[in-house]
Structure 1
Amino acid sequence: MIRTETEAGVRSIVLARPEQYNTITPELRDALGRAIEEADADPEVRVILLRADGPAFCAGYGLDWSTRSQAAEDSSERVWDSAADYRVMSSFVDVYMKLWYAAKPTIAAVHGWCIAGGTDMVLCADIVVAGESATFGYPPARVWGTPTTAMWVYRLGFEQAKRYLLTGDEIPARKAAEIGLILECVPDDRLLDHATALARRMALLPGNQLEMLKLLCNQTAENMGLSSTRTLGTLLDGVARHTQEGRDFVATAASVGFRQAVRRRDDPFADYGSRTTHSNGAPR
C-alpha cells in the first residue's frame, strides 16, 4: 500500500497501488495514516514528501468496494444512519488532515489523475507541485459526493472554487497552477527531481523554524473556519450519496459496473474517462 524512503531530512511517502491507480481503500487509509505519524515523530525528518507509483497519483476512492458497501446498506431494512456514515468518512478525512496538521511541512508531487477523493487527500498538503500530465477535479460534484476536506475555497477563493465545483470540470495541471489550486506545474520528467529539491531546500532550515512557520500560515485558515467547513463537507458527502440521484448511481453501478456508471455520469461533459485520450482510473 505504502512505501517510504528517507534522505537528506526528507521522508518520501509513496502510494504504491499502481495497478489500481492508487485508489483509496480502508487499508490504504490506515497505512497512510501510520506513515505520516511516523514521519512526523522522527527527529531525522524535517519535510514530508508525498508521491505515487504508476500512471496516476490517485484516481479517488475505489468504487468497487465503496459502491458495494452502499448497495448492501441500501438493501437493508434500516434507514441510512447519518451518524454512522459520518464516523466512517471521518476516519478517511482525519488521515488526509494529518498532512495539514503534521508539525512538519508536507509537499505533494502529483502526476496523472488526482481527482475526486484524491483531491480530498492532496489538497491537505502544504504545497502541491504537479507534472504536466496531472489532472485535478471533483467529478462526484455531479452526483454522489461533496469534497470532504473542503480545501477548495481556502486554496482558490470563492469564484474559482464555485466555477469548478458547480460543474465538476477537470483541471489540467497548468490551469491548476494558474488559478492557484497548486503551486506550480513542471515537465513530467522533472517532477520528482524538482519536488525533491524543494523539499531538501526546506529541510535546510531548523526543524523548529519550519514548524513555527507552518503553524503561523495554517492558523489563518483555521481562523476562517476550516474545522467547521470540513465537518459540513463530510456530512454533506454522506447526504449526497443518499439522495435519490446518489442511490440511482449506486444501482447503476451494481447493474452495469462502476466504470460504466462513471462513464454515464461524465459523458455529457466529455471529460475524465469519457474522453478517448483519458481512460485510466475510475474517478470517485
Structure 2
Amino acid sequence: MNQALRTETAGGVRSIVLARPEQYNTITPQLRDELAEAVDDADRDPQVRVMLLRADGPAFCAGYGLDWSTTYQASAESAEQSWDSARDFRMMSRFVDVYLKLWYAAKPTVSAVHGWCIAGGTDMVLCSDIIVASESAVFGYPPARVWGTPTTAMWVYRMGFEKAKRYLLTGDEIPAPTAAEIGLIAECVPDAQLDEHAFGLADRMARLPGNQLEMLKLLCNQTAENMGFTSSRTLGTFLDGIARHTPEGQAFVDRATEAGFRQAVRERDDPFGDYGSRPR
C-alpha cells in the first residue's frame, strides 16, 4: 500500500507532506492514521522544534474522500440498521482527534496551503497554529450547503462571529487573499514564493529555544480553551453526524450512490457557481 504522506527534516523543522496528489490529498482512514503517527513522532523528537504541514500535487486537501465516505454511510445504514449516533460520533472523533494533534502538540505547527483546502481539509488545517497560503489557494466549507458541519469548530475562534457566519451560512468559497484579510489564515504570498516563505517562517520559529516555543503556544491556545473550545468541537462533531442524516443529507448520499459523488457535488454547487462549478 502506498503511503499517504512522507516526512522530511532539516534545521529543526519537520515537514509532514500529504502525498496523495492524484486524489487531491483527500482524507482517508489511512491518511488519518499516518498523520497521527507523524505528528506524535515529531513532537517526541528532540531534534524537531517546528512542524510544517504541506502537500504534493495541485491541491492541499480537497476534503474527505467522498468515494469511501458516502459508500460507508450507504452501507453502514439500511432499513434493517438505522443511524447509531453514538457509533457515528466515535467514528468521526477518530478523525477530529488527529486534527487536534496539530493544536495540542507541544511544538508549533505551520501549514503551507496551495490549491483547494476545503471541507474536511479546513477541519484539519485550521487546527494548525499558523497558516500561510499561495494567492491562488481557495478555502471554504461547501458541505455547509448539505451533508456536514465543521467538526473542529475553529471558524469563530479565528474570524469572529460575523465572518464565520458569513461564510458558513452560504458555504461560499474564500480566495486566499480574502482569507488573510478576514483572519482565517495568517498570510498570503505569491504562488511561486509559498515554499520559500513557509520554510523561512518555520526556520525563524526554530531559532527560538524549544521551551520558549512550547510556553508561548500554550499561552495563546489557552485563550480558546477558556472560551469553550472543547464544547464547541464536541458539538460540531455531533452536529456533523446529524447533518449527514437529515432528509437532505440522506438524499445527497442516495444521489452520490446513483450518479457518483462528483455529480452529486456538482449538483450541490452549481446553483452557487463556485468551487468545481465555477464558470470556466
- Give the TM-score range, shorter chain: over 0.9
Distance between the aligned counterparts of 1:6 and 1:262, measured in 2? 38
Offset, 1:76: 4.6
Instruction: Show the counterpart of 1:265.
Output: 268
Distance between the aligned counterparts of 2:187 and 2:207, measured in 1? 21
Aligned pairs (5 A) from 1:48-67: 48-67=51-70
Offset, 1:79: 1.6
Structure 2 spans left out of the alignment, 5+ residues:
none
Match status 1:20 vs 2:42:
no
Distance between the aligned counterparts of 2:32 and 2:79, measured in 1? 26
Query: Of the candidates 210, 213, 218, which is equivalent to residue 207 of structure 1?
Result: 210
8 Å Cα contact 2:116-2:138 kept in structure 1: yes
Q: Which amino acid aligns with 1:15?
A: L
Q: Which amino acid aligns with 2:64?
A: Y
Distance between the aligned counterparts of 1:138 and 1:5, measured in 2? 30
Q: Secondary structure at the match of 1:72?
A: helix
User: What TM-score, normalized by structure 2, do the two folds share?
Assistant: 0.98
Query: Of the candidates 30, 33, 41, which is equivalent to residue 33 of structure 2?
Result: 30
Match status 1:146 vs 2:149:
yes
Instruction: Show the counterpart of 1:105.
Output: 108
String of CA shifts for 1:81-102, please: whole Å, max 9, x gaps.
0000000000000000000000
Match status 1:234 vs 2:237:
yes
Distance between the aligned counterparts of 1:79 and 1:24, measured in 2? 25
Aligned pairs (5 A) from 1:176-195: 176-195=179-198
Distance between the aligned counterparts of 1:165 and 1:86, measured in 2? 21
Match status 1:130 vs 2:130:
no
Q: Which amino acid aligns with 1:190?
A: Q
Instruction: Show the counterpart of 1:282.
Output: none
Q: Secondary structure at the match of 1:104?
A: coil
Distance between the aligned counterparts of 1:76 and 1:270, measured in 2? 36
Distance between the aligned counterparts of 1:2 and 1:255, measured in 2? 32
Offset, 1:256: 0.6
Offset, 1:247: 0.1
Instruction: Show the counterpart of 1:75.
Output: 78
User: What TM-score, normalized by structure 1, do the two folds share?
Assistant: 0.97
Offset, 1:21: 0.1
Instruction: Show the counterpart of 1:165.
Output: 168
Q: Which protein has greater RCO, CA pairs closer than 8 Å, 6+ apart?
A: 1
8 Å Cα contact 2:273-2:279 kept in structure 1: no
Q: Which runs of structure 1 show a deviation greater than 6 angstroms over 4 or more consecutive aligned residues? A: none
Match status 1:2 vs 2:5:
yes
Q: Which amino acid aligns with 1:113?
A: W
Distance between the aligned counterparts of 2:95 and 2:198, measured in 1? 25
Distance between the aligned counterparts of 1:18 and 1:96, measured in 2? 20
Offset, 1:133: 1.4
Match status 1:251 vs 2:241:
no
String of CA shifts for 1:50-84, please: whole Å, max 9, x gaps.
00000000000000000001111232512210000
8 Å Cα contact 2:113-2:134 kept in structure 1: yes
Offset, 1:276: 4.1
Match status 1:114 vs 2:105:
no
Q: Which amino acid aligns with 2:128?
A: A
Instruction: Show the counterpart of 1:280.
Output: none
Distance between the aligned counterparts of 2:90 and 2:149, measured in 1? 16
Structure 1 spans left out of the alignment, 5+ residues:
278-284
Distance between the aligned counterparts of 2:178 and 2:151, measured in 1? 23
Query: Of the candidates 174, 179, 185, which is equivalent to residue 177 of structure 2?
Result: 174
Q: Which amino acid aligns with 1:124?
A: C
Q: Which amino acid aligns with 2:224?
A: A
| Identity within the alignment, % | 77
Q: Which amino acid aligns with 1:71?
A: A
Instruction: Show the counterpart of 2:222.
Output: 219
Q: Which amino acid aligns with 1:111?
A: H
Distance between the aligned counterparts of 1:160 and 1:92, measured in 2? 26
Distance between the aligned counterparts of 1:128 and 1:257, measured in 2? 33
Distance between the aligned counterparts of 2:166 and 2:77, measured in 1? 32
